[in-house]
Each structure stands twice: as C-alpha cells, then as structure tokens.
Amino acid sequence: SQQGEEDPQALSIQEGENATMNCSYKTSINNLQWYRQNSGRGLVHLILIRSNEREKHSGRLRVTLDTSKKSSSLLITASRAADTASYFCATGFGNEKLTFGTGTRLTIIP
C-alpha cells in the first residue's frame, strides 16, 4: 500500500465550477503539502497544512486535514482554464523527505 493516494485520478469540470480532490495517507505526519504540476513542468507549492490545523485558505484554495481519518482535501473554487494541471499531495515530517501521492489530473473545460 502507498502513502498518499489521491482521488479521483482524473477530474474534468466546466470552468467556473468548484473542483475537489482528496488525499489519503497511512503513516503519522506533521505536515501535508499540496503541489501543482503543469505538464512536463516543475512542482509549484500551493499550500502547507500542519497536523494541528484543520483547515487553511489561500486565495481560491481551501485545504482541510482530518488526522483521525488520515485524509486531506483540496478545493479549488471558481475554477479557471489555467487551473488545468496535475495536483499532488505530499506528506512529511518537518524538513524530512516528502512522500508524494499519485496525483489527480484536473482538466478545466472552457
């Protein structure tokens, strides 16, 4: 079994709709980070949520963390075509290595 599994694997929505992606993990963490990756490009950091936090906002992004269920969700509100990308959750401990999930490929239909 793998640390960090996102679902759905792929999601297509109309521009303007909200997109929700989920991430589950298996081991203890002290932070969870979400990244975006445009095709063939680098990983762009979106948001970090610590294990003692339940919800965090950044612009159109809202991240929740439920440590009892070992799960997190990323909500993108009012989606735009430029949000088309793959989204990954990654779990970690302090400055130690990150363990990445398999990613959700999000397509925003104009």
Partner 1 sequence: EPEVTQTPSHQVTQMGQEVILRCVPISNHLYFYWYRQILGQKVEFLVSFYNNEISEKSEIFDDQFSVERPDGSNFTLKIRSTKLEDSAMYFCASSGQNSGNTIYFGEGSWLTVV
Contact footprint for partner 1 (CB under 8 A): 2, 31, 33, 35, 40-45, 48, 88, 90, 92, 94-103
Distance spanning both ends of the chain, measured CA to CA: 36
Question: In the complex with partner 1, which residue's Cβ is closer, 18 or 28?
Answer: 28
Question: In the complex with partner 1, which residue's Cβ is closer, 15 or 92?
Answer: 92
In contact, 8 and 101? CB cutoff 8 Å: no
Q: How far apart are CB 30 and partner 1 at their closest, in Å?
A: 8
Question: In the complex with partner 1, which residue's Cβ is closer, 25 or 88?
Answer: 88
Question: In the complex with partner 1, which residue's Cβ is closer, 22 or 102?
Answer: 102
The C-alpha atoms of residue 50 and residue 63 are separated, in whole angstroms, by 11
Q: How far apart are CB 38 and partner 1 at their closest, in Å?
A: 10
List all residues 6 or more positions away from 110 whose beta carbon is below 8 Å from its beta carbon.
Answer: 15, 81
Going by C-alpha positions, the residue among 8, 35, 31 that lies closest to residue 19 is 8
Q: How far apart are CB 48 and partner 1 at their closest, in Å?
A: 5
Joined together, the tokens standing for residue 97 give 């290595």
Q: How far apart are CB 27 and partner 1 at their closest, in Å?
A: 14
